[in-house]
Amino acid sequence: MRVLASAASLLALLAASPAVLAANEQVNGYRLLDSPILQTNGYDWWWHNLVAVSRADGSLKPFFFEYYIVNPGLAQSQPVLGRNGTNKPSYALVTAGTWGTNSDSKKINNFYPVSAFSADVNVMNVKIGTGNVANETYIKGAVSLTAAEQAAHPEYFSDAGSISWALKAEKFLSFDPGFGVSQIPRDLSLLEMFWFVKGQRTRYTGTVTYNGQIYDVFPDTSYGYADKNWGTEYANPWFWLSSNKLVSRKNGKVLTNSSLDCGGGRVLAAGIDLGQQILTSFWYEGTQYEYNFAKLNSGVTFNVTETATDIKWSLTGINQKSKIVVNFSAPKTATIKIKYESPKDGLIKYPNLWNTGFAQGTIELYKGDLWGLFGWTLVDTIEGSMGGAEWGQY
C-alpha cells in the first residue's frame, strides 16, 4: 500500500499545473549540473537525425549525430571507458552514423577527455574538442576511425569510417513533456531518464560527407529531428518512434507542418516503478495532439514485435477529445545495434538496442468527445516513412 500511495503521489506531482510548473527552453542546456548525483552517476546527450540527398545519384540517406557526456565528476586526463564493467565511465563522446542496407549501417565513435567538453546550462551550446559544436541553430563536427584502429580498440564499440557535417538548424515544432523535466524533478534527480524534444520537427540545411561522398541537406526534405536525454540510467525497455516524412491519404498532400514523436519505457521515479509508459506528441498541420500519462487525462498502450526479419512498433493513444493509432515497422537489415555504457557500472546492458532511420507505417487520427464515449470519427490516415525508431530491453 505504501508503494502504491507513493506512486499516486508522484503522479499527482507530475500532473501539477503546467501554467505554473512547465519546463522551458532552458532544459535544452547542459543538465548534469542540476544535481551532484549526476556528476558522478549521470549522462547527458544531444541527438540529431535527418535525411540527406546523394550528389552522386540523388538517393536519400538518413544520418544521425550525437554529442554526449558521462560522469564528468570522475574525469581523468584521458577518456575512461567502461570496458564491460571494469570502470565507471567518464568521457565526452562525439558519434555519428548512417543507416542502410548491404552492411552500410555505421556508427562511428570518437572519445575525448572531459576537459575537452564545455556546455552552457541556459541554452544548447555544446563544444567537444576543437571542431565539434552544437547550438540551437547550427551543428558541426567530424568523426573518423580507421579499420586498423577499430581492430586494435574493441572497447571503442565503433565501426570504421569517416563522417563530417556542417548544418544550419531551424527547430519549428517541439514537445515539452511538462513538469517532469522542470526544475524540481531535475534538482532531485527524480527520474531515472529525462527526455526533452526541442526539435520535434527541424529544418536542416547544409552538407554531410560520408566516406568521401557528399550528401546535400535541404530544409524541406531533411525531415529533421533533435532531442536530448539525460539521467542516471537508460530506460528498460526503451521505446522511440519518430517520423517527419508524412503524406495524407485523405488528400495526397505532403504534410510539412506535421510530426510524430513517441518515447518512453519503464518509468522509475525516486526508485518507484510507475510501469511502462509512452509519451506521444503528434502535430497535425499545426495542431498538437498529446498523450501524456503524467497529465492524468490520457494514456498510451503499446506493443513491439520482433520477428526474424523486422521490428514492429504499435501504439494507441487516447485523451478526452482524440485518439491516435500508430503502426510502423523497419527491417533489421536497416538497423544499428546502439551501445551505451551505463554510468553506474560501465556495462553495456542491452544485447540488442535496435535503432533505425527507415521506420515506415501509418498514423490514424480520430476525434471524439469524452474519451470516445460516443464513438470516434476518422480525421485522416497518414503514411510515414524515413522515420527514426529504437527498441531494446534487457
Q: Which helix (H) or strand (E) holds 184?
A: helix 183-188
> What mean pLDDT do residues 271-275 have?
87
Rounded Cα distance, 113 and 119, in Å: 14
DSSP β-ladder status, 335-337 and 354-367: antiparallel
SS3 label, residue 14: helix
Amino acid at 292: N
User: Cβ(242)–Cβ(385) under 8 Å?
Assistant: no
Say how many Å lie between the first and final Cα of the chain, rounded.
Answer: 28
The pLDDT of residue 102: 67
pLDDT tens, position by position, 288-341: 999 998 777 788 999 999 999 999 999 999 999 999 999 999 999 999 999 999
pLDDT tens, position by position, 116-133: 999 999 999 999 999 999
The domains of the chain are located at 2-392
C-alpha pair distances (Å), 163 with each of 51, 139, 189, 288: 14, 13, 35, 35
The most confident of 160-164, 271-275, 291-295, by mean pLDDT: 160-164
Amino acid at 131: G
**How many CB atoms neighbour CB 121 within 10 A?**
12
- Alpha-carbon dihedral 252, 220, 288, 138, rounded to 10 degrees: 170
> What mean pLDDT do residues 352-380 have?
96
